Structure 1
């Protein structure tokens, strides 16, 4: 799929910037861009020739490979030439800078700064040149695979990218450009912070250069190389579609005022819902036993909330098209009632009342609203932090839920109502949601909405990344559409509206899923399934094998939840910048498989160290896998799934929720095989799905390049 290429424009300040984007296809460089139109016509000829039996497929592959090689060589040689010119200009400016520092002159320093910034702007043009060509290469490779039903991308990337003289790597890795970026940053930093001092940015690593041009360059480089920091990597877990951050660096971010307290309330809803989900996990088995059911019914108790969430995610996502306040109020009321039923089930001695309570809690899941609020109402420059806050709130809720259950080890009655370790989680959440309901009612502010029609009328320069790319790559094309259904159209309004239209149903959303997207959704399903099995059956397994108390289970689950943030800090800040996402994805899947295999009981005895260590390996690898999986999913997913009711966030939520439902159901069904077989029976599906995910990853590995 295409990389997210240009930013969606939300306020009137971006109109001029939208026009500027049209000028990024530099006329003087026209003959150095990938000739997308020519290759598309050749593809049509190849289709006609092979259908008529006039030309063998292997000859087509050879001829098209040579054509691509020539195109890439033209791009790379021009890229190297421009890098050399930029390097020469920086070298000349460095000589002027040295002479200037011998006889300091304020006006001279300012002129030199402007000269460096001019180099910076030319560097940004070159980065956009690379980005456009890289996207064009991905697009034509994908088109070839689609037309011939042949894995040409897999062959071409494998044979070209891994060669020691790879020119393809020059387009996708830009090693030389990074050296130019470093030289430009260092010299500008010297002009800013040295000015007579002998210290440099290397001596003062804590001093960051606050120059807009450097921010733009860094954003452009990060976009090309997918470099991340902790906040970016953490925010990827939310699968909230983010626009091109380079625009934010240029000061063109969406500057509409937003209500900070409303954002806090949105995140509080996320936190409380996750607490509500996991606070019952340590005691669900004992609650089932107290009502006369088997301990393994805890799977149904825990999973019933996820069953309802499968449906609530859809109507909450649709509701958020019209309002955010009313869905949050409705969510609070449903959770308040649901937890009341859950707590009363003990005194009513009814497993049915307990399950109804959990279903009502699931019907109050507003996570779709939480995502949409951040995506639609938080300014671009704050959105990544808000996304990280969403994920952090979820992680802390996952840790705090079991921890709170561990403290609720008291037993008393008031007016015939029982308050013990089974019912107190419900009563505590009733109080929490009651407080939240009043807080939300008083302080939440419904944001001003702009309809899609208004947005297009106010921002005529706005364009979808696919339609914009097509107009750039097919500059003089007269074709309206090709037989693939790709609309290479010169009519901007028609093209923009066509590509901008979101999916209108789950069926239409599913049709937009390519094989790569389906594999990533399978991986997401797998990791959520493995995590749910681990967490939901922990109280039963530890009671059977180790006789752990509720407090011990609560501490264990809380520790697992607390690993989320530090693990993501390490992965997001270091590992993702050292290796490709697809490499981390595959390694994480393999480590997760090892954790699952190590969890099996293969002898008569089953030790605490084996269980705890395998659980840590499984949970941590699943957390790492989730970050890179959703990062890749956001890149390979159609831009039409970035908005509307049936968006990418909803699809991933449905996949994850379905995984939780099946996992919790598996735990209850496994109870029929006997407690001694419970662990192995529940782990077997995780093992099979993980193996299937690894095989599917190998098949689509090079499409993630």
Structure 2
């Protein structure tokens, strides 16, 4: 893997090389500071002062060049404006065409300038994090806070591209007005959508979005998929080329697989208790019936993740066949009068969980420019399936026999899903296109090539210099080098990180060793929210039947309504709340609200009522959904880049944590059910409350590392 400093130099525009951030020099200084502090020849305060001054000088150099280039672009736009005025006096189609091309040339030069700013912004973030890692000091917080809003600060020019907006506006307006198909609109300001937007403007807007790292609904929703997005050094002269491995039908089939699997998971929830009783078991055995799918998924996630290293088509075919057979067994259990056939059918369904393949296909085969949309589609398909499953179960209220088989509200979910997977298998066989695998050997996956994972685990109270090894490198610094290939040996002429430090994890144990305290806390939070949600959903049919005498249709409507809150909640959080507060603030607030929802759910002295159950369930579910988005976003940020690829990747770890939570929750429901349905609600809520409180305390302990 080529070191970051070398990659930065390769991406620079040759004639502007003297105006970029001198990343290599600053990295050398960080190494010198470490040696000087170790030898006690330099004090901490002097290091901070000297490094701050160096950063200020680097930023000033960048900003002055940026202002100079903006002035040149503004001058060219002014001359083009004069030319346009003269053309409007005497219209000429040829000159108008030349004028459009001239504006596009200015746009392309502006795009180069935006790439210049972006490369410097990435370099600045990298060196700040390297300093923090080397010394265990929150220097980034100090530096950004003291300069972000100061009237004399030039930092905003780099991160907020002050002034460039005016140039973008001028190019956009003039190119819009010069379009040949203006329609009935008076100007671009009257158009509801820029359907005919010039490609140059689209490229500029994309560059601005990357530079700002702006949060919107789509971005927030995509975070739920934990498909890691790398901080890339942009290519200054060309846009991303569509990956030849990508095929729209194949992506659609992966999303359809995701949707059907979630429908398959939740379609039995409203009727699982009745089905268990009809086979001679207790109603609370529904917990193990529902959880059997999750138990098998713990194992299937691993072999499907490994299988996706070699193929995407074959594991999807296998998944469809296993799910088809599993659902058929689930439906046949009624006529066979066997609870064991029922459980084996659900276990088979779990063995067909191909979510690891679905996620991996998006990560490996979808072009970067649409990967966020694909990730959001993955999450939306899951949410829609979660809502459609119970809703579909509520519609299957019939009872008849055909060919000596029983079709009723308990068996129909199995028969419907059997037919659905059969149709999906046919569609898969016809339309799926296996991506070419030979390219994998020629270049690393895009999600691993330039991803930087920086984990900061020490606070302000820690000493400035961490314990070093014999080579003068701290253990945390070695961890960072593992992540980006940007080790200190570059200062000595080496541009390569050690081969071993760049390899993905080869087992669950080696993956676990890469987990820092902040990553473990985020996985604990993910476990907690999945546990709380599974308790709420899986025992809903038993609880509502015991306390309120709800019918299967009523339970189905309630669960479907919960599922339908996912997208609206993410719209609000992604479009508004996440732009107003830091992710770690939303994380902590969401955990507290989940805790409040759990507390509201307890049945204490007063009579348990429908409003109490519905409100507490809604608070718990919605808060957990908000929590999941920010939790996975922070998890992808603090996780080692070695976990962004390979079989034992971050996505697999989060899936295993969530699946294990569901298994434990469903087992808890079944075990507590042995004490009687009257004790089920309160006793199952106690572990949820304890885990939630522990996760809140753990979050507070690692709060300063979540950035």
Q: TM-score, normalised by structure 1?
A: 0.83
Matches within 5 A, 1:409-428: 409-413=397-401, 417-428=405-416
Residues 1:141 and 2:128 aligned together: yes
CA contact (8 A) 2:266 2:390 kept: yes
Note closer, same or farther for the CA distance 1:143–1:436 as it changes in structure 2 (3 Å cut).
same
CA deviations 1:648-672 (Å, max 9, x no partner) are 3223222222222233233334446
CA 1:665 to 1:75, structure 2 compared with 1: closer, same or farther past 3 Å?
A: farther
1:616 to 610, 615, 618: 618
**Cα distance change of structure 1 residues 68 and 493 upon mapping to structure 2, 3 Å threshold:** closer
Confirm or deny that 1:547 pairs with 2:534. Answer: no
Cα separation, 1, equivalents of 2:106 and 2:704 = 35
What is the correspondence of 1:376-525 to structure 2 with a 5 Å cutoff? 376-379=364-367, 383-413=371-401, 417-455=405-443, 464-465=449-450, 484-485=477-478, 486=481, 487=487, 489=490, 501-514=503-516, 516-525=518-527
Aligned partner of 2:244 in structure 1 is 256
1 CA distance for matches of 2:73 and 2:697? 45
SS at match of 1:227: coil
Cα 1:659–1:382 shift into 2, 3 Å: same
**2: CA distance between counterparts of 1:384 and 1:245?**
18
Contact 1:335–1:360, Cα closer than 8 Å, also in 2: yes
Superimposed CA distance per residue, residues 110-153 of structure 1 (whole angstroms, 9 cap, x where no aligned partner): 33333333332333233223322332333233333333334444
Identify the match of residue 301 of structure 1 among 289, 293, 297. Answer: 289
Q: Does 2:207 match 1:205? A: no
In 1, the alpha carbon distance for the partners of 2:205 and 2:443 equals: 29
Moved more, 305-314 or 165-174: 165-174
Distance 2:562 2:168 in 1: 40
Unaligned ranges ≥5, structure 1: 7-17, 470-479
1:328 matched residue in structure 2: 316
User: C-alpha separation between the residues in 2 aligned to 1:82 and 1:654?
Assistant: 51
User: Which whole-Å deviations, capped at 9, do the CAs of 1:45-67 have from their partners, x for residues lacking one?
Assistant: 33334434555545544544444
Q: Within 5 Å, give how 1:635-654 maps onto structure 2.
A: 635-654=637-656
**Structure 2: how far apart are the matches of 1:217 and 1:700?**
38
Greater shift in the superposed pair: 324-333 or 423-432 = 423-432
Q: 1:691 to 1:256 in 2, by over 3 A?
A: same
Pairwise CA RMSD of aligned residues? 4.0
Residue 384 to residue 699, structure 1, CA distance change in 2 (3 Å): same
> After alignment, is 151-160 or 313-322 more displaced?
151-160
Deviation at residue 560 of structure 1 after TM alignment: 1.6
- Deviation per CA, 1:577-636: give whole Å up to 9, x if none: 566555554554444444344333344222222222232233233333333443444455
Contact preservation (8 Å) 1:285, 1:540: yes
For residues 36-51 of structure 1, the aligned pairs below 5 Å read 36-51=23-38
Counterpart in the other structure of 1:557? 559
Q: How many residues align?
A: 676
Q: Check whether the contact 2:240–2:369 (CA below 8 A) recurs between aligned residues.
A: no
8 Å CA contact retained: 2:225, 2:376: yes
Change (3 A) 1:665 1:128: farther
Q: Which runs of 5+ in 2 are unaligned?
A: 455-470, 482-486
1:270 counterpart = 2:255: no
Distance in 2 separating the partners of 1:245 and 1:527 = 35
Q: Aligned-pair distance for 1:542?
A: 1.5
Q: Look up the match of 2:341.
A: 353
Conserved? CA contact 1:215–1:246, under 8 Å: no
Of 201, 211, 218, which aligns to 1:224? 211
Q: Residues of 2 paired with 1:150 and 1:182: CA distance? A: 41
- Structure 2: distance between partners of 1:247 and 1:163: 32
Distance 1:523 1:432 in 2: 34
Structure 2 distance, partners of 1:654, 1:140, is: 34
SS of residue paired to 1:192: coil
Quick check: 1:215–1:249 contact (8 Å CA) kept in 2? no
- The DSSP-based 3-state class of the residue aligned with 2:309 is coil
Distance 1:212 1:704 in 2: 37
> Residues 516 and 135 from structure 1, CA distance in 2 versus in 1: closer, same or farther, beyond 3 angstroms?
farther
Q: What is the deviation of 1:503?
A: 3.5
Q: After superposing the two structures, state which structure 1 stretch, 403-412 or 58-67, moved more.
A: 58-67
Deviates more, 1:72-81 or 1:486-495: 486-495
Q: Is the 8 A contact 1:238 1:388 kept in 2?
A: yes
Displacement, 1:390? 2.6
| Superposition deviation, residue 497 in structure 1 | 7.7
Which deviates more from structure 2 when the two are superposed, residues 320-329 or residues 131-140?
A: 131-140
Aligned partner of 1:104 in structure 2 is 91
Q: Hey, what's the Cα distance between the residues in 1 that align with 2:263 and 2:365?
A: 25
Change in 2 beyond 3 A, CA 1:379/1:153: closer
Structure 1 residue 529 corresponds to structure 2 residue 517: no
SS in 2 for 1:202: helix
CA shift in 2, pair 1:190/1:24, >3 Å:
farther
Deviation at 1:218, TM superposition (A): 1.0
TM-aligned CA deviation for residue 521 of structure 1: 3.5
Q: 1:291-343: per-residue Cα shift (whole Å, max 9, x none)?
A: 44443332222122112111111110111121222212211222223223333
Q: Partner of 1:189 in structure 2?
A: 176
Distance 1:543 1:337, change over 3 A: same
More displaced, 583-592 or 296-305?
583-592
Tell me the TM-score normalised to structure 2 length.
0.83
SS at match of 1:683: helix
Cα distance between partner residues in 2 of 1:124 and 1:551: 56
Between 240-249 and 181-190, report the one with greater CA deviation: 240-249
